[in-house]
Structure 1
Amino acid sequence: MLYHSIAFFLGFLLDLILGDPYWLPHPIRLIGNLIVVLEKRFLSKETKGKEHKEQEKSERRRGTLLVFIVLSVTFAVTAFLVIGAYLLHPYLGVAVETIMTYQILAVKCLKVESMKVYQSLTKEGIEEARKAVAMIVGRDTAVLDGTGVAKAAIETVAENTSDGVIAPMLYTALGGPVLGFLYKAVNTMDSMIGYKNEKYLNFGRTAAKSDDVCNYLPSRISAYLMIAAAYLGGSDFSGKGAYRIYKRDRRNHASPNSAQTESVCAGALGIQLAGDAVYFGKVVKKPHIGDDTRPVEYEDIRRANRLMYLTAWLGETGCLFFMVLIILL
């Protein structure tokens, strides 16, 4: 546990300092490549002549098989590397676990990508801003104006405060890089094949449901950490507003988890998020989150990132506190 807590903290610091260098091969990209290979193999299987119900069941089975293979490979490779490193020498184990923890977290990467949107909005114009935000959201961005682009970036920061920061942090604290990478594999599968469209509705169902289950508790823990961050963050945020909107709007999303931190962020900033969006050329009706008390500003992207960083530090501190407590007991 002592070695684990050291690696856990050092990995968090590395993420804050280095982020995700694009030139460095990343395990999540490798997991993504595996998903692409398996999707091509399983989703393209011949289904002509099958009845509709039978075809749906077949797609679900193949989607479930994809999830099983991805999780099995992720578990085997991660466990082999971590356990093997610790068996060779504890210090090597700490080094390997530190690097893996750093790769699991995405605090700085989330900030960097969202701040590219901010820079484009303030300096380069709407076309570049649409291109920048298209890199971090799944919706169609060509129809967005400046305010829509800013809202999309803020929503991404808010939602990924749970998915990309606190949830993987909690799983890594609980089960080391093995559990951390298993969570990231589930999250990656959901982001790639978990869509409720004609292509993935059945094939991606297991991936989507797995992500819902894995994020159920972490998203709610993230929300309360973010509320605490809003209280501690100074005049830019409203802790009372964060809690009030969270209690009111935390279920205003098709996903049981996505609106948890989005509602806190909207309340903390005093703005309105969500609403209708365009996906694959079709308008998807969505309820609003938050109150339209003031217009969304480009500067809100910076504020959302600051709130995310405060939440990350609170999460890291809480995890380390419980680790130290276990060591002392």
Structure 2
Amino acid sequence: MSFLWLHLLVLPTAFALDRLIGDPPSLPHPIRWMGNAITSCEPFFRNLFKNEKIAGTLFALILISGCWLLCFLLLMAMQWIHPAVGFVTEVVMVFYCFSSKSLAQAGLDIHKLLASGQVDQARNAVAMIVGRDVQSYQADDIARATVETVAENFVDGFLSPLLFAVIGGGPLALTYKMVNTLDSMVGYKNERYLYFGRAAARIDDVANFIPARLSIYVIGLAAQFSVLKSGCRALAVARKEGRNHSSPNAGHPEAAFAGAMGIRLNGPNYYGGRLVEKPFIGMRFDPPGVEHIKIACRLMLRSSEIGCLLAWGLGVLLQSVL
């Protein structure tokens, strides 16, 4: 499939599918297969090399390159059968990389629980989507964690795979998801993965470096073309406070969301029983409340629409040039 077709048909079709059906649990999902591959291969590479850095680096590189090769060969085979079969295959590949609807649904489910006073159930739900200790969280703490997750995962769950799909189609988008899945499973700074997972964490940082920084402009546009009308404030806070985060990338979309909604995010959190001091983002604002979860979900969905539109526009531009 040509580069032009990728922009003009594959991306909007995959995006429409994501917004239509999200991530039905009944469907097989390649991310689960990636997780199974990571779990199965880890002991082999640990036993192969005594040096955990070397073992972890080869582990990450082989899984990432293997994912791309497998997806590329599959797409070539489907295109050889018929271009229409190849088109459908690539649409499915890219569709599985988008998670805007499922992310919004997770946030709205937590909002519904909090709005009905079911704090314990909301705490259990937020524990499924964040990596911090939430045992002592009350309603406002849960709201803040949910908003932060929606903001941060706009990049991981949509913008990054979108940009990789623009560059290299479905195979590269799925390869990005392998990078992201590796980081989520082994990219921890704990005793088990401090050295073995370091390469996976660094590769994920590199993969998200540009998308995270581009996200502030996409979020700014979304904030401006919404009831918030706060695009300039989103950009201003993102530029000033986007680096106020322990992650090299997560602070940028969080700061854009903080500015867009006029709320304070981030700050100290406990991870694995250890207090991690993090600076606040949106220092001059008040902390978010339960009502901000719905606003964040709407802003994320609008940002995904604008991101897809910009990618489609790039395809149109290429058509006019070529």
TM range (shorter): over 0.9
Equivalent position SS for 1:72: helix
| Aligned-partner Cα distance in 2 for 1:8–1:46 | 40
Cα deviation per residue 1:105-163 (whole Å; 9 max; x = unaligned)? Answer: 11101111111211111125111011110111111111211111111110011011111
- Structure-2 residue corresponding to 1:320: 312
Q: Do residues 283 (structure 1) and 275 (structure 2) align? A: yes
- Number of aligned positions between the proteins: 318
- Match of residue 210, structure 2, among 217, 236, 246: 217
Match of 2:80 among 81, 87, 93: 87
Judge conservation of contact 2:93–2:171 (CA < 8 Å) in 1.
no
Query: 1:11 & 1:240 partners in 2: Cα distance?
Result: 30
Question: Deviation string for 1:8-49 (max 9, x for gaps)?
Answer: 211110001111011111001100111111223334x499xx
Tell me how far apart the structure 1 counterparts of residues 263 and 234 of structure 2 sit (CA, whole Å).
Answer: 11
CA distance in 2 between partners of 1:209 and 1:281 (Å): 24
**Are positions 1:17 and 2:17 aligned together?**
no
Measure the CA separation in 2 of the matches of 1:157 and 1:245. Answer: 18
Match of residue 51 from structure 1: none
Question: Matches of 2:285 and 2:242 in 1, distance apart?
Answer: 18
Q: Which amino acid aligns with 2:239?
A: K
User: For the structure 1 residues 197 and 89, does the alpha-carbon distance in structure 2 shift closer, same or farther, using more than 3 Å as the test?
Assistant: same
The question of 1:271 aligning with 2:274 is answered no
- Distance in 2, matches of 1:203 and 1:292, equals 40
Contact 1:267 1:291 survives alignment (8 Å)? no
Matched-pair contact (CA < 8 Å) for 2:13–2:91: yes
Counterpart of 2:113 (choices 105, 111, 120) is 120
> 2:5 is matched with which residue?
3
1:74-95 deviations in Å (ceiling 9; x for gaps): 1122112211111111111111
User: 1:312 & 1:269 partners in 2: Cα distance?
Assistant: 17
**1:30 corresponds to:** 33
Secondary structure of the 2:192 match is coil
Whether 1:130 aligns to 2:123 is: yes
Do residues 227 (structure 1) and 230 (structure 2) align? no
- AA aligned to 1:42 is F
Q: Shift of residue 293 of structure 1?
A: 2.8
1:306 counterpart = 2:301: no
1:222-245 deviations in whole A, cap 9, x for unaligned? 1111011111112x3522321221
What RMSD, in angstroms, separates the aligned Cα atoms of the two structures?
1.6
Q: Does 1:68 align with 2:68?
A: no
CA distance in 2, matches of 1:109, 1:254: 26
Give the CA deviation at 1:298.
1.0
| 1:40-55 equivalences in 2 (<5 Å) | 40-43=43-46, 45=47
Report if the CA contact (8 A) 1:139-1:280 is conserved: yes
Q: TM-score, normalised by structure 2?
A: 0.95
Task: Give 5+ residue unaligned stretches, structure 2.
Answer: none
1:223-262 mapped onto 2 (5 Å cutoff): 223-234=216-227, 236=228, 238-262=230-254
Taking a change above 3 Å as real, the CA distance of residues 63 and 46 of structure 1, as seen in their structure-2 partners, is closer
Q: How far has the Cα of 1:98 moved from its partner? A: 1.0
Query: What is the identity percentage for the equivalent residue pairs of Structure 1 and Structure 2?
Result: 39
Taking the aligned partners of 1:295 and 1:64, their CA distance within structure 2 comes to 40
Runs of 4+ that moved beyond 4 A: none
Q: Secondary structure at the match of 1:104?
A: coil
Aligned residue number for residue 177 of structure 1: 170
Range moving further from structure 2, 73-82 or 215-224: 73-82
The residue that corresponds to 2:180 in the other structure is: 187
Q: Is the counterpart of residue 148 in structure 1 residue 141 in structure 2?
A: yes
**Given the alignment of the two structures, is residue 163 of structure 1 paired with residue 125 of structure 2, yes or no?**
no
Give the secondary structure class of the aligned counterpart of 1:220: helix
SS in 1 for 2:275: strand
Q: TM-score under structure 1 normalisation?
A: 0.93
Partners of 1:190 and 1:208 within 8 A in 2: yes
Give the letter aligned to residue 277 of structure 2. Answer: K
Aligned partners of 2:257, 2:13: CA distance in 1, in Å? 28
* Shift of residue 73, structure 1, vs aligned partner: 2.4
2:116 is paired with a residue of what secondary structure?
A: helix
The one-letter code matched in structure 1 to 2:14 is G
8 Å contact from structure 1 (residues 167, 222) kept in 2: no
Distance 2:152 2:99 in 1: 13
Q: Which runs of 5+ in 1 are unaligned?
A: 48-54
8 Å CA contact 1:120–1:132 kept in 2: the answer is no
